[in-house]
Amino acid sequence: MPNITKILAATDLSDYSFHAATRAAALCADLNCDAVELLTVKEAGLPEALGLVLKTPPAAAESMLVERTLRELRLISGQLQDNYGIRCTDTVRFGQPEEEIISRANELPAELTVIGMHGGNFFTDFFLGNTADKLARLSKIPLLVVKNQLAQPYRQVLVPVDFSENSRRAAQMALKVAPEAQITFLHAFDMVFEEQMRYVNVARDAIHEYHIKAEEDARRDLNQFIAELQPEKNEGDKRLFSRHVVFGHPGHVVHDHAKVMKPDLIVLGKHGGSRFEELLLGSVSRQVIGQSSCDVLIVPLPNRAGQD
């Protein structure tokens, strides 16, 4: 997995998106990134509408909007540069938020996109639809959804895993963005044939033994997963990982564990990649984004032609 050198922070200039920009700047400083770019996306038809009101050509109205927005962005950039000693750049685009954010991230290219979220929706005056959900479905680079004001670097990180390549990349990303955190790996296991076994009246003791065996196998696989991940840790990183294996549906298990653990960040690997899968974000990812009170980092698999 490549190092994080450029971070794109999408902002609508609200307080909640300022939390995201601040987190992006703090990560940039901690990870020695090259720069953070602040991106604001304005509604596609806004220059035409403003031009009609002001009785000026759309190009002149657009120029006015861009200049005003850049002045506001530069105030934020200057504050972030002073506070974190990083380099910031500023960009204004017109169009659909998710499309322009993804396009700009690819152009940079950025290794991480950061957005702010309030409640269940991306907080903005006019963005239509759930931009966080759309970006989580469509983005090919990691997406950090920031829900809370920055208080400190991430200290408690929850990483749900299913031992897939998606989980491995999510775990690697967790180690990168939270080098000082305690990492808790959580695996939810299920008994594929339990319902069928009960249906055909298999003895309760036999089902219990099957349950014990499934849990033992899950613990062994989780230990192996973590052992193989050790080389991905930074040199000198001596952290001990926490590990938990819990029976149940992954979405419910992650939600219940997060309520008790109260992590600063949850890191998830995103499954899918086909056009159909992109239309429907995985149920676990959607549930975590919508119900968790902490920041959420969604890590997709790279494009087949891209880097590993």
pLDDT of residue 303: 63
DSSP 230: G
pLDDT of residue 272: 53
pLDDT of residue 179: 87
Coil/strand/helix, residue 96: coil
d(CA 223, CA 243): 8
- Residue-wise pLDDT tens digits, 135-185: 888 899 999 999 999 889 999 999 999 999 999 999 999 999 998 899 999
Number of Cα atoms under 13 Å in the Cβ half of residue 121: 9
pLDDT-based confidence at residue 275 (cuts at 50, 70, 90): very low
Q: Is 204 exposed, middle or buried (0-12, 13-18, 19+ CB in 10 A)?
A: exposed
Domains of the chain: 1-150 (3.40.50.620), 152-308 (3.40.50.620)
Q: What is the mean pLDDT of the chain?
A: 85
What DSSP string runs through 102-147?
A: HHHHHHTT-SEEEEE-BTTB---SS--S-HHHHHHHH-SS-EEEE-
d(CA 38, CA 24): 9
* Residue 172 token pair: 């690697």
With CA atoms as reference, report the closest residue to 226 among 277, 298, 167: 167
